[in-house]
Structure 1
């Protein structure tokens, strides 16, 4: 496990967000998955270390309601696509011009929303653990997590949602804030992906179907390379193959 220190900045609406840095060199902004954190997705399993070794400064945000970031209860702090606005605030805070952007699951989804909607223009894009359904049919996925939150302690052990409930509990997620956050995430018109033209890596576990077809998503991105790593949606991020695949695709920083 690598040790990336925490620092904090204020997002566009004053919400206090945590940032973890590792390495030095070309900036790579990495975004974690839903109800996870930078430490859980990128640092614990050494992915940040593998990427930093290629000459990158890995900049890992904790989304609002996640990790060490603030989890406000005021509904006004949750406008549509608030996470895209948080990432844009981070890029502005750091004064980034030439940088790469990537994420896993929710982090990948947020990255694609940011680029497809013209909010951010990274040089390269890494899309991990995401498929077409996680973009164009996100409302179905969000409804699943709303149920997990709303029925939290009443979910029986034999229910498929029980594992998700246990994960939320293990991460100490603020359920009231999480419920507000889920309502900020719109579906993405897949036709907009034709405008995402920078080089992109679509990488997914070979047993991961949680967000639909990653291979179909890669086909919709004009500059995409598709790669599989071992694992399901939950296990692929715990294996060194994911970080190695990202590092190898990025290559040594110029």
Structure 2
């Protein structure tokens, strides 16, 4: 597994296929395989003639997992993505993130517009601006002695997902404490790259896709029909919409 250094941490990634590069940034408690390989994204994009780079965010997958919350600021994780682009000697890339990965992608597009050709913000709408949550029950669930001790429905869902993906619960709790930073509307309006905001119509976590797209100077919304936050990732309509967006962008 190839790795690179960012902010003193060793981070893992995959780099597959040929063509115009796209960087994939996964969501909270997931990893590059669970978010992108198993739902067929890497296969779909490489068959479409693209070079696919998928990072394991700090605290996840095969990347290093610090337990200090301050190591998980969104700006720090966006810098990891920027460092990977530079590590690979790339100029501008398309970027797609899901949920927490979409938040990281938005910060990357804002702080480093010179490397972002276009951005897909998936599983995150107006939650980027207004916040989503509450997240305290999820932190409590991750820190609970066992899943049997958890009564909060959403907290239990995240705890089970973290266990299924083999996550480091202490690192994930630290990440959840620090990675929910919002982006004020006036800063969102400074993201000028072509942007697609894709959210499931049954997603009660992400917030409005259209609301966020309306703030983005070159944004548009994609509704993923009849999908919630967990089931939208591998949806065929989502994939078709992203491929059409990538083909149409300048």
Query: Is the TM-score greater than 0.5?
Result: yes
Q: How does 1:20-35 map to 2 (within 5 A)?
A: 20-35=14-29
- Contact 1:12/1:89 (<8 A) preserved: no
Q: Which residue is equivalent to 2:159?
A: 165
SS in 2 for 1:27: strand
Kindly tell me the number of residue pairs found equivalent between the two proteins: 246
Q: 1:213 aligns with which of 197, 208, 212?
A: 208
Where does structure 2 lack aligned partners over 5 or more consecutive residues? none
Query: In the aligned structure 1, how far is the partner of 2:97 from the partner of 2:72?
Result: 21
SS in 1 for 2:196: strand
SS in 2 for 1:123: strand
Q: Which residue is equivalent to 2:144?
A: 151
Q: TM-score, normalised by structure 1?
A: 0.87
- Are positions 1:193 and 2:156 aligned together? no
Deviations 1:191-237 (A, max 9, x none): 20111111111111121121211110111111012111231110111
Q: 1:51 aligns with which of 33, 36, 45?
A: 45
Q: CA RMSD in A?
A: 2.3
Query: In the aligned structure 1, how far is the partner of 2:53 from the partner of 2:201?
Result: 27
Q: Which residue is equivalent to 1:223?
A: 218
- Contact 2:23/2:96 (<8 A) preserved: yes
Deviations 1:49-99 (A, max 9, x none): 212222210100010111111112356744563211211211121121121
Q: 1:10 aligns with which of 5, 12, 17?
A: 5
TM-superposed deviation, 1:182: 2.5
Change (3 A) 1:152 1:251: farther
Q: 1:175 aligns with which of 164, 169, 172?
A: 169
- Contact 1:102/1:127 (<8 A) preserved: yes
Query: In the aligned structure 1, how far is the partner of 2:69 from the partner of 2:231?
Result: 33
TM-superposed deviation, 1:21: 2.0
Q: 1:204 aligns with which of 196, 199, 207?
A: 199
**Segments ≥4 residues shifted beyond 6 Å:** none
- Contact 2:96/2:121 (<8 A) preserved: yes
Where does structure 1 lack aligned partners over 5 or more consecutive residues? 1-5
Is 104-113 or 116-125 further displaced after alignment?
Answer: 116-125
Q: TM-score, normalised by structure 2?
A: 0.89
- Contact 2:3/2:11 (<8 A) preserved: yes
Q: How does 1:39-118 map to 2 (within 5 A)?
A: 39-73=33-67, 77-78=71-72, 81-118=75-112
Q: Which residue is equivalent to 1:237?
A: 233
SS in 2 for 1:164: helix
